[in-house]
Amino acid sequence: MSAKEFQTFLEQYPAYAQTESIDLLRKKDYARLDAGEHIYLDYTGGGLYAESQIEKHQKLLSENVFGNPHSSNPTSQAATHLVEGAREHILKFFNADPNEYLAIFTSNASGALKLIGESYPFASGRYLLTFDNHNSVNGIREFAHARGGEVTYIPVMLPDMRVDASQLNLELARPAQTGHNLFAYPAQSNFSSVKHPLEWIELAHSYGWDVLLDAAAFVPTSKLDLSVVHPDFVPVSFYKIFGYPTGLGALIARKSALAKLHRPWFAGGTITVASVQGDKYYLADGAPAFEDGTLDYLNIPAVEIGLKHIEAIGYDVISERVKTLTGWLLQNLTAMKHASGERLVRLFGPNSSEGRGGAVTVNFYDQHGQAFDHRFIESEANKVNISLRTGCFCNPGAGEVALEISRVELDVCFTSPTHHDKMTIDDFRLCIDGKSSGAVRISIGMVTNFNDVQAFLAFARGLLK
């Protein structure tokens, strides 16, 4: 790292100096990053765990005996105690009133989204969602279609990839009168990193919509305060916030909204009574009605350890860290030009660190203005141990807008007889001949430092001709 550049950075982003505690933490708790010379820039894909989280979890497991929480024996009670403690801590972490909200354990954010999709009463209702959504939110439309609900998408617009607010207002103002209405959007885009306004929640409520706020990409670096905003359904994945454990997420849901859901089946753990001869079952109250089978009771205590780890660092520090480094990355990357005058990158999303998170999504261009294939950029980055993400990041709506793939092109592609039942990603690339099928996402997270960003900028500079 050049001391002069760091000085310039600090002059332009003085708030970075207040996040020094993260540098100390990184030395102690994330030493493997520097020991392995990793430049990790895929925090939207997955957060990183602190070594101390693993130690605390391992100690807990090695010093105790935990049994299946579906009993009342001592080892079962010990597990129940930790599971319920973690559940309470999740609500506390998001400042959610336990009289208003419940935390349901799921395997990840997608598991939480599927619970909503399969149980929401879409018949004669509407499912309204933004183009900018993860596929696990898009996938809910299949449940809506199957039950006769109307599905409507609200576009996002280049170059910032924010939503057309007038169109959103129009749609929100016309909920179905006879059915239920569900509006879904991400608090932060996993494609462009746009933070969509949380004010939409109350606007949608005022017209009678239930609101699904996908917080999976937002909560790793921003505080979600459920005493200030009151979305009905909030899916999250814990590994995205603190790296470990994987395989656990939650659906944080308002009790009033949960009461509208109809689970399509029952399973072990979800009922009070089920009868074979009587052909009848009674669902349990609250979260257990949505938790199929045995909970991941040995890993759930690690969620509480992870939440405490984030609390000890503080969202103010994390957000400031991400904001300052993102500002520097944006400013330097978007300024790079080939000798021919052609720009090195085209940015998809906001070109300032305001109203956005730490993922910077771009495509790279050569000196003639020809796009580099995103797979080439990834393979070049791999050679210098930079971990980034390429493709469409499971967000096809944002991808189609960013890459200017039109509805007509997609219709031609999907109605071709050869694509009736099956399509590979290579078939899709042929369909959109000449256009890029993906982009490159560089995402800054909690323990990113100035060196990481400088290493990426040096890599990018190496592509200049």
Do residues 455 and 386 touch, judged by C-beta distance below 8 A? yes
Minimum distance from CB of 146 to ligand PLP (Å)? Answer: 21
Smaller CB separation from ligand PLP, 106 or 270: 106
- Binder to ligand PLP among 108, 192, 221, 222 (CB under 6 A)? 108
Closest of 398, 387, 386, 409 to residue 439, by C-alpha = 398
Residues in the chain, overall count: 465
Minimum distance from CB of 393 to ligand PLP (Å)? Answer: 7
Amino acid identity at 425: I
Specify the 3-state DSSP secondary structure of 338.
coil
CA 159/CA 325 separation, integer angstroms = 21
Smaller CB separation from ligand PLP, 25 or 401: 401
Binding segment toward ligand PLP, per CB under 6 A, in 102-110, 114-122, 155-163, 369-377: 102-110
Per DSSP, 441 falls in state: E
Q: Is 237 in the site for ligand PLP (CB under 6 A)?
A: yes
Binding segment toward ligand PLP, per CB under 6 A, in 58-66, 104-112, 316-324, 366-374: 104-112
CA 101/CA 231 separation, integer angstroms = 10
Q: Is 217 in the site for ligand PLP (CB under 6 A)?
A: yes
Which residues ranging from 19 to 48 are in contact with ligand PLP (CB under 6 A)?
Answer: none
- Binder to ligand PLP among 82, 91, 156, 216 (CB under 6 A)? 216
Minimum distance from CB of 218 to ligand PLP (Å)? Answer: 8
Q: Is 109 in the site for ligand PLP (CB under 6 A)?
A: yes
Q: Strand (E) positions, 238-307?
A: 249-254, 271-275, 280-283
Smaller CB separation from ligand PLP, 13 or 40: 40
Smaller CB separation from ligand PLP, 105 or 328: 105
- Binder to ligand PLP among 19, 53, 130, 136 (CB under 6 A)? 136
- Binder to ligand PLP among 53, 130, 190, 454 (CB under 6 A)? 190
Minimum distance from CB of 237 to ligand PLP (Å)? Answer: 3
Specify the 3-state DSSP secondary structure of 263.
coil
Binding segment toward ligand PLP, per CB under 6 A, in 72-80, 94-102, 213-221, 293-301: 213-221
CA 74/CA 79 separation, integer angstroms = 9
394 has catalytic annotation: yes
Number of H helices and number of E strands within the chain? Answer: 19, 17
Smaller CB separation from ligand PLP, 217 or 432: 217
CA 33/CA 51 separation, integer angstroms = 11
- Binder to ligand PLP among 19, 53, 80, 110 (CB under 6 A)? 110
Q: Is 186 in the site for ligand PLP (CB under 6 A)?
A: yes
Orientation angle between helical segments 315-333 and 20-29, nearest 10 degrees: 100
Binding segment toward ligand PLP, per CB under 6 A, in 47-55, 106-114, 266-274, 322-330: 106-114
| β pairing state of 280-283 and 386-387 | unpaired
Closest of 443, 438, 436, 440 to residue 362, by C-alpha = 440
Amino acid identity at 453: V
Minimum distance from CB of 390 to ligand PLP (Å)? Answer: 14
**Total binding residues toward ligand PLP, as defined by CB under 6 A:** 11
Smaller CB separation from ligand PLP, 69 or 306: 306
Do residues 154 and 171 touch, judged by C-beta distance below 8 A? yes
CA 16/CA 21 separation, integer angstroms = 10
- Binder to ligand PLP among 87, 134, 141, 180 (CB under 6 A)? 134
Do residues 225 and 256 touch, judged by C-beta distance below 8 A? no
Q: Strand (E) positions, 221-275?
A: 233-237, 249-254, 271-275
355: left (phi over 0), alpha (psi -120 to 50) or beta: left
Do residues 413 and 431 touch, judged by C-beta distance below 8 A? yes
Active site residue: 392, 394, 413, 431, which one? 394
Smaller CB separation from ligand PLP, 217 or 460: 217
Binding segment toward ligand PLP, per CB under 6 A, in 105-113, 261-269, 273-281, 357-365: 105-113
Minimum distance from CB of 133 to ligand PLP (Å)? Answer: 8
Tell me how crowded residue 71 is: count the other CB atoms within 10 A of its CB: 12
Smaller CB separation from ligand PLP, 175 or 243: 243
Contact residues for ligand PLP, defined by CB under 6 A: 108-110, 134, 136, 186, 190, 214, 216-217, 237
Which residues are known catalytic residues?
394
